[in-house]
Chains A and B, each alone.
Chain A
């Protein structure tokens, strides 16, 4: 009897796990809130402005990450409608866009250092903050890409639909959140660029 209860619980267990993801999002949000507050304290306290026009690469990466959220939404819709071929396609697209975002961010670093002479070790740490923001965000992106790969892998192993949807939802929560965080960071940098 107990065993049967436990089996039931197994299914129900997914809801708290999804909730775990939401809380994790909170911790991650606090992390970026702390970094940006640090920026405000730093640049306010010392009169160190940023004085950097953000490279246009950031615009392209923003476009990529917004698009990737769109394709992930479509993948989610396909998964709900049991159209697994379509789901795979959109997941692949999301993955490609995610990797593109990653590459463009790195390219933006290249532009910043080699073209604009804004170094990570700038004596004006306001400028180091650009790298701190984007770098720690990219670490999150790596985690998100791993999560996405895991979901994609699941679609090829024909896992039960409950688990498939669970993975899709976990990935979506995290992925969309990272998109929002990037937009927040980008707008924050734009507002402070002079």
Chain B
């Protein structure tokens, strides 16, 4: 039935297409400088996936070095030239690889790729808007992101290689162009790229917030919004408040680099020559960086949380457990994430009292995170679960969030962190809680909304293969790192064989590398599935997952403005799954209560006395009939 309806819409639309609008849509305005949020979402997604593949290849390169520090691979020299002389990645290039891998993954994939894709796709479609508040700014947001990506990658083509001071670009390495090879042009390109990236993020974020607040359809009050929208909305707010602080930090860094100020520099000796910088404070940069940096990690995870909540509710055929608690914990995370940044700086010599304050705030932020976890588990509990690939990835997201979140509690203790800071324990922590969890949330979103984006279904079998290999691979890669960290193995070292006390970890490193290669190969299944399904996938129906949210009421064929005719009105929250008394196990948000008398509950009419009266009348007649029988 729904396909028929779709077809109808399509025809009606094509009719209008002819005479009224869209008359001057060209290839360029449709696919390149598009101002349509759905197209921009796809642009973000495809750029994001491309960047993810590149960053993944970088990680395999440095994993090869860690597994075989004493072997030579002539192929590497062929591929990388002077970055890998004599078949071994050079020490400097190793650091560049780590830095650019981190930068791309955190910012380009999990910030722009994730928020950019799903905020663009879902905000207008799920709140019932024709497009973003400012489609033009939205287009600029993508193109700034694209340019930022190009500039970041171009740093591989400068003589001395890309930035190499770590994704956190602490001065003095980042502030003194002569400090090491990567501090030169590579670092300059990194800074240019990030300035464009921040501009892109801000333009996107401003649009998302404004659209959610101003352009919801009739009936869509804040408490009827799906959790995806809540999460993307709060993520955008976090970005708006946090990114400008990074810009401030970077502006001062640029002054130090290029104008000779000493905001961050003091007592520097370069090649035996005392430098003129005095009185600067490198710790100041860390404050400014982590004031962004910590909210940034939640910018990365909150969209994944929203996506998983939605996907898990749909595929458990159950209302999300504790909708209000989910929203309040997102808000709690948003607020608290601004007062915990000091936990990245416990060992910078900060006043122990201040360390204590940051420790307490850090442990408090674990509370809303735990609330969310319990609610996901309770949503699954006795659900009528449909194990679609999207559902598996959403469950995987919860799994990683738990196993990575637990180690956060240890790191959050100022005293324990003295041992753990800058070891592989931290690497394990954030790759599970942020890296894997957010990637799984993103993949859940891709599998779930692929039909909405491309009108086709992805292959399920390949989806399962992709899930299991990636899930197992990620645990095999990151779990052993905890033990390395507990043993004091530091992060960002080139070859552990140089230290007698760490040589025993070589076998583990080799094991991790092979697990990483397996997980990387598993992504081929995804890429193949993704590309082939776009062109040759099975045609999707309008609402393939039998979901309640608004985007599935829009026709499969994409049209500018999303809905032909009027925008649908919303009457209920998005989680009426398996409501007792209902005819089907889902009731879309657009179905008024008057059409679902048999499943209405007194609770549905909290602020609607007339409706409650109707319901009471209905139930009393039912009772009367029963008595007659």
Contact = CB atoms under 8 A, between A and B. Distances in A.
Interface of A: 1-3, 5-6, 9, 13, 15-17, 19-20, 23-24, 26-28, 30-35, 37-38, 41-42, 45-46, 48, 120-125, 128, 132, 136
9 contacts: A1-B16, A1-B565, A2-B561, A17-B133, A19-B133, A42-B263, A123-B276, A128-B263, A132-B251
B134 A2 contact: no
B130 A132 contact: no
Given A5-B566, A6-B21, A128-B263, A41 B206 contact: no
A1 B15 CA distance: 11
Given A26-B240, A38-B249, A128-B263, A16 B281 contact: no
A120 B252 CA distance: 12
Contacts of B579: none
B214 A132 contact: no
A120 to B, nearest CB: 6
B280 A30 contact: no
Given A23-B206, A42-B284, A30 B263 contact: no
**5 tightest Cβ-Cβ pairs between the two chains A and B:** A16-B133, A123-B278, A34-B248, A31-B244, A3-B20
A20 B207 contact: yes
B25 to A, nearest CB: 14
A24 B287 contact: no
A17 B134 contact: yes
Interface in B564-586: 564-566
A30 B210 contact: no
A23 B245 contact: no
A94 B260 CA distance: 36
Contact of B284 (A3, A26, A38, A121): A38
Given A30-B240, A45-B281, A123-B262, 6 more contacts: A2-B564, A13-B133, A28-B244, A42-B284, A120-B255, A123-B279
Interface in B262-298: 262-263, 276-281, 283-284, 287-288, 291
Given A16-B214, A46-B281, A128 B261 contact: yes
A5 B566 CA distance: 8
B157 interface: no
B61 interface: no
A64 B242 CA distance: 32
B213 A19 contact: yes
Contacts of B287: 37-38, 41
B587 interface: no
Contacts of A17: 133-134, 210
Given A5-B566, A16-B134, A120-B259, A27 B202 contact: yes
Contact of A30 (B244, B283, B284, B566): B244
Contacts of B260: 120-121
B49 interface: no
Nearest to B278: A123
A27 B207 contact: no
Given A2-B561, A16-B134, A27 B261 contact: no
B241 interface: yes
Contacts of A35: 248, 251-252
Contact of B214 (A5, A15, A41): A15
B247 interface: yes
A153 to B, nearest CB: 18
B465 interface: no
B402 interface: no
Contacts of B244: 27-28, 30-31, 34
Contacts of B57: none
B144 to A, nearest CB: 15
Question: SS class of chain B's interface: helix, strand, loop or mixed?
Answer: helix
- Most chain B CB within 10 A, of A30, A124, A136, is at A30
A17 B276 CA distance: 48
B211 interface: yes
| Residue in B20, B206, B240, B564 whose Cβ sees the most chain A Cβ within 10 Å | B206
User: Taking each of A1, A2, A16, which has the highest tally of chain B beta carbons within 10 Å of its own beta carbon?
Assistant: A2
Interface residues of B, number: 49
B60 interface: no
A25 B24 CA distance: 35
Given A20-B210, A46-B281, A48-B279, A38 B288 contact: yes
Given A16-B133, A17-B134, A34 B245 contact: yes
Given A19-B214, A27-B202, A3 B252 contact: no
B300 interface: no
Nearest to A129: B263
Contacts of A46: 279, 281
Given A19-B210, A20-B206, A2 B21 contact: yes
A152 B130 CA distance: 31
A35 B252 CA distance: 9
B137 interface: yes
B137 A20 contact: yes
Interface in B431-458: none
Nearest to A124: B279
A122 B213 CA distance: 46
Tell me which of B133, B262, B561 has the highest count of chain A C-beta atoms within 10 A of its own C-beta: B133
Contacts of B242: 30
A121 B259 contact: yes
Interface in B129-171: 130, 133-134, 137
B16 A3 contact: yes
B243 interface: yes
Contacts of A37: 287
B209 interface: yes
Nearest to B566: A5
Contact of B248 (A23, A31, A121, A122): A31
A95 B6 CA distance: 55
A31 B262 CA distance: 20
A33 B243 CA distance: 12
Contacts of B205: 23
